[in-house]
Amino acid sequence: MVPSVSVIIPTYGREQVLRETLANVLQQDYPNYELLIVDQTAQHEPETQAYLEQLAIEQKIRWFRVNWASLPGARNYGVRRSRGEIIVFLDDDVLLPPNFLQYPGAPEYREFYRDLGWDADYEYIKPYVMPNGQRKNTGIKYHKITGRGLGLSDKAEYDPYWAKEKAAEHAGNFMYNRERQIEHLYSIMQRPPIVVSPYDAELFGHWWYEGPWFIDYLFRKTWFDQSTYEMTHLADYLRKHPTQQVCRPAQSSWGFRGFHEYWLNETNAWIYPHLHKAAERMINLSRREPSDELETRALNQAARELLLAQSSDWAFIMRTGTMVPYAVRRTRSHLMRFNKLWEDILQAKIDSGWLQKVEAIDNIFPNINYRVYRPLGS
C-alpha cells in the first residue's frame, strides 16, 4: 500500500484548460489517489459540462458545485471533504509531468506496510515483539512497493541500489519542474519569485523511506546542475527584496475538516491554560541574563520542556483515544519539570543533580538558546 493522496482543484471560469488539466491529472500513474473539483463556475460551456458530468458518473472525479468564489475558501472546502493522507492543491490550468504523484509510491521504493514483525516465524520474532507476545511492526522491512494492485504477499524484495537511483531521478524531475515554474513566474512578475515547499516532516524517512535521499540529491543537484534558482531563507529573501505585498492566509490545518478541532475539543481543552501560562513564564525567563553556567543550562532546559509540552501529538492522541494515558503523562511531566525550573531559577535554588538527570531524559535541541523567546526590542 502507498499513502492515499487527495488532489484538490478549485476552478472558476475555466473551460478548455480545465478539461486539459483534468485529463492530464487522470493520466497520473499513482495507485491510490482521488481527484476533487471544487467548481465555482455558475454555468459551463456545454462541452465542459458534459465532460465533467461524464467523469463524475464514471467516479473518476468528485465534483462539488458551489455558488460562491474564493480560492482559499474552495481549498478549505475541498480539504474538509478529502479522504487522503496527503493533500495536493493544483490550479485549474496546470499540466503535471509524468509520475508527478508517484514520488513516494514508485515501485522501487520500500513497502511501508510489510514488516518482519508479521512475516517472521513466531518463535524467531517473539523476543522482539510486545511483552505479551503480540506481534508488532519492528521497522525491518525487506520488500518494495513492486506495482499497482498487489497484495502484501506479492511484494518483491527491496533493492536499495535501485531505490536510490529512483530517488535521484525524482530529485532531478522535481528540480526541472521548479526551474520551469520559476521561469514562468519571473516572466509574469519581472522580479525573482520565491517558492515555498512545506511538507510534513515525517513523510521523509517514515512514510517515504527514501525521502532523505531525495532531499540530499535535490540539494546537490540544485547546486551543481542548474543556475535558474537558489536555495534561500525567508529572512534572507526579505532582506534582498524588502518591498512585498502583505497578505494574511486563511487559518486552516491538515486536520479533520481543515481546521483545528482535533487539537481543541472536550478531550484536550484542559491543557491549554497550562501551556499558555508556561509560555508567558518562558517569555519572562528569556529576559534574564544568567549569573553562571548552571542557570544558563536551567534556562535552556526550561525552553526544551516547554517545547515538548507543546507538542501537538499529545492533544491529537487525546482526541483519537489511542494511548491517552501516555499523552496525558507526557504533557503533565513536561509542564511539571518546566514549572520546577521556573521556581528554582527565580529562587536561585537550582538543583544541579536533578537538572542533569532531566537534561539526559529530555535532550532534544542540544544547541537551543532560551533567548529565542525574548521579545524583539527587549
The Cβ of residue 175 has, within 10 Å, a number of other Cβ atoms equal to 19
First to last CA, the chain: 52
What's the pLDDT score for residue 275? 98
The Cβ of residue 299 has, within 10 Å, a number of other Cβ atoms equal to 23
Q: Are 42 and 67 in contact (CB under 8 A)?
A: yes
Q: What is the DSSP letter of 154?
A: G
In sequence order, the 6+-apart residues with CB closer than 8 A to the CB of 54 are none
Q: At what angle do helices 324-346 and 352-361 cross, to 10 degrees?
A: 150
Phi, psi of 38 (to 5 degrees): -100, 100
Same fold, 5-93 and 260-373: no
Q: Determine the longest span between alpha carbons in the chain, in angstroms.
A: 78
CATH class, range 260-373: mainly alpha
What's the pLDDT score for residue 138? 93
What's the pLDDT score for residue 84? 86
Task: Residue 6: name the closest of 67, 58, 62, 72 by CA.
Answer: 62
Task: Residue 36: name the closest of 46, 27, 47, 26 by CA.
Answer: 26
pLDDT tens for each residue of 177-210: 899 889 988 998 889 999 998 887 878 998 899 9
What's the pLDDT score for residue 86? 80
What's the pLDDT score for residue 106? 87
Each residue's pLDDT expressed in tens, for the chain with a length of 378 residues = 567 889 999 999 999 989 999 998 998 878 788 999 999 999 999 999 999 999 999 999 999 999 998 888 888 899 899 988 888 888 888 877 666 777 788 889 999 889 999 999 999 999 999 999 999 999 999 999 998 778 889 999 999 999 999 999 999 988 998 998 899 889 988 899 999 988 878 789 988 999 999 999 999 999 999 999 999 999 999 999 999 888 888 887 767 667 788 899 999 999 999 999 999 999 999 999 999 999 999 999 999 999 999 999 999 999 988 889 999 999 999 999 999 999 999 999 999 999 999 999 999 999 999 999 999 877
Q: Are 299 and 288 in contact (CB under 8 A)?
A: yes
Fold of 5-93: Spore Coat Polysaccharide Biosynthesis Protein SpsA; Chain A (3.90.550)
Cα–Cα distance, 1 to 152 (Å, whole number): 8
What's the pLDDT score for residue 95? 78
What's the pLDDT score for residue 23? 92
What's the pLDDT score for residue 99? 67
Cross-strand partners of 143 = 157
What's the pLDDT score for residue 104? 81
Q: Collapse the DSSP code of 33 into the 3-class scheme (helix H, G, I; strand E, B; otherwise coil) and give the result.
A: strand
For the chain, the domains span 5-93, 260-373
What's the pLDDT score for residue 40? 94
